[in-house]
């Protein structure tokens, strides 16, 4: 299938984030891990259908761990016939209007003629189920299957999430995401925020920063010191949980800006930063310490 000329409402890979917050915009990673993931993914898409269908290779004889695991999952899942590898599929909304398109890694049929869909994943394990359910619904729309088995296959962790889904359930979940994107409501902090491009200016995160900045000023008088405020927080489980949530979110937010790595590079290059010094860990790596 040729890529369509329609404008995508969102990319299928951003469906997991869009499901939690309609404003989610994925960051594009060019890290070495992302490059490695892309290479492994391409290798899986090329090799697995051939090893399964043409060469009928026994997984126990495969030496590359990610290929061995992916191949063993195909055999265990009971797929009888691989219909296609790396197929471009199109998702329409409930009124038949174009929503998006993307490439499904692999799909086929089992003994009961049920659809079997596979999505290869590398790197850190995250919940990508909305993406693979989206592909599944696109295939269902195309071919009219009523039931499918979706497989999220994490080849690095050697873990697979396998779920049965009907057309009705897939529609309910995916059409809700489509609605979320077309009419986004308030910004909702969620576990995908770390991979969202908007985190820096997002109203939900600005509010967290504001809270942190004041350490809950509405609860305390100006006469109290920072230490007094922390003592009060420690005594109250509700305040303590609010503080810890905000504190942890802020730590992640600051880490994501890469400021520590930047400062380290500056110091390694000879820039003096008052109050800080370079130290050496037992593994021989340099890090920043307070002077
Ligand atoms: S950072 Fe903001 S816009 Fe992005 S997903 Fe989180 S809450 Fe939504």
The confidence score (pLDDT) of residue 223 equals: 47
Please, which pLDDT band fits residue 287 given cuts at 50, 70 and 90?
confident
* Helix boundaries (H) for the chain: 15-20, 32-49, 65-77, 129-143, 167-182, 203-214, 226-235, 237-256, 259-268
Q: Do residues 145 and 168 lie in contact, with contact meaning Cβ atoms separated by under 8 Å? A: no
Q: Which of 196, 200, 203 has most ligand 1 atoms within 8 Å of CB, for mutation? A: 196
Domain locations along the chain: 12-182, 193-290
User: pLDDT tens digits for 195-226?
Assistant: 899 988 899 988 877 777 665 545 555 546 66
User: pLDDT tens digits for 67-82?
Assistant: 999 999 999 999 988 8
Residue 154 has pLDDT above 50, yes or no: yes
Q: In angstroms, rounded to a whole number, what is the distance separating the alpha carbons of residues 96 and 179?
A: 14
Nearest atom within ligand 1 for CA of residue 190: 6
CA of 283 to the centre of ligand 1 (A): 37
The pTM of this model reads 0.77
Q: Within 13 Å and on the Cβ side, how many CA atoms surround 272?
A: 3
Placement of tokens 């420690």 in the chain: 234
Please, which pLDDT band fits residue 11 given cuts at 50, 70 and 90?
very high
Residue nearest to atom 6 of ligand 1 (CA): 193
Please, which pLDDT band fits residue 148 given cuts at 50, 70 and 90?
very high
The confidence score (pLDDT) of residue 251 equals: 82
User: pLDDT tens digits for 88-125?
Assistant: 999 999 999 999 999 999 999 999 999 999 999 998 88
CA of 280 to the centre of ligand 1 (A): 37
Burial class (CB in 10 A: 0-12, 13-18, 19+), 147: middle
Give the pLDDT mean for 137-161: 94
Residue 65 has pLDDT above 70, yes or no: yes
CA of 203 to the centre of ligand 1 (A): 8
Please, which pLDDT band fits residue 230 given cuts at 50, 70 and 90?
confident
Give the pLDDT mean for 63-70: 95
- 216: DSSP letter: S
Q: In angstroms, rounded to a whole number, what is the distance separating the alpha carbons of residues 85 and 118?
A: 9
Give the pLDDT mean for 20-26: 95
Q: Which of 10, 198, 201, 208 has most ligand 1 atoms within 8 Å of CB, for mutation? A: 198
Q: What percent of the chain has pLDDT over 90?
A: 56
The confidence score (pLDDT) of residue 226 equals: 67
CA of 199 to the centre of ligand 1 (A): 6
Residue nearest to atom 4 of ligand 1 (CA): 24
Nearest atom within ligand 1 for CA of residue 202: 2
Identify the residues whose C-beta falls under 6 Å from ligand 1.
Answer: 17, 21, 23-24, 187-190, 192-193, 196, 198-199, 202, 204-205
Q: Among 46-55, 179-188, 221-230, where is mean pLDDT lowest?
A: 221-230
Residue nearest to atom 2 of ligand 1 (CA): 202
CA of 100 to the centre of ligand 1 (A): 21
Q: In angstroms, rounded to a whole number, what is the distance separating the alpha carbons of residues 115 and 137?
A: 11
The confidence score (pLDDT) of residue 1 equals: 55
CA of 238 to the centre of ligand 1 (A): 25
For all residues of the chain together, what is the average pLDDT? 88
Give the pLDDT mean for 149-174: 96
Please, which pLDDT band fits residue 66 given cuts at 50, 70 and 90?
very high
């Amino acid at each position: 299938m040729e890529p369509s000329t329609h404008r995508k409402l969102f990319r299928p890979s951003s469906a997991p984030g869009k499901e939690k917050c309609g404003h989610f915009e994925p960051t594009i990673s060019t890290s070495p891990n992302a490059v490695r993931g892309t290479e492994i993914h391409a290798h899986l898409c090329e090799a697995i259908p051939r090893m399964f269908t043409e060469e009928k290779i026994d997984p126990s004889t495969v030496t590359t761990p990610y290929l061995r695991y992916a191949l063993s999952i195909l055999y265990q899942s009971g797929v009888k016939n691989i219909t296609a590898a790396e197929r471009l599929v199109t998702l329409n909304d409930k009124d038949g209007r174009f929503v998006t398109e993307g490439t499904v890694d692999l799909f086929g049929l089992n003994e009961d003629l049920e659809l079997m869909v596979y999505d290869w994943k590398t790197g850190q394990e995250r919940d990508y189920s909305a993406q693979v359910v989206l592909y599944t619904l696109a295939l269902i729309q195309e071919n009219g299957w009523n039931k499918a088995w979706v497989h999220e296959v994490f080849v690095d962790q050697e873990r697979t999430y396998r779920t049965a889904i009907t057309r009705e359930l897939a529609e309910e979940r995916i059409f809700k995401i489509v609605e979320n994107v077309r009419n986004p409501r308030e910004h909702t902090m969620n576990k995908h925020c770390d991979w969202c491009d908007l985190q820096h200016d997002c109203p939900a995160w600005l509010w967290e920063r504001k809270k942190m900045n004041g350490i809950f000023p509405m609860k305390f008088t100006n006469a109290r010191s920072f230490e007094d405020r922390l003592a009060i927080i420690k005594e109250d489980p509700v305040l303590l949980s609010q503080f810890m949530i905000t504190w942890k979110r802020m730590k992640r937010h600051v880490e994501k800006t890469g400021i520590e790595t930047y400062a380290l590079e500056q110091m390694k290059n000879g820039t003096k930063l008052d109050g800080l010094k370079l130290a050496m860990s037992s593994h021989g790596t340099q890090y920043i310490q307070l002077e």
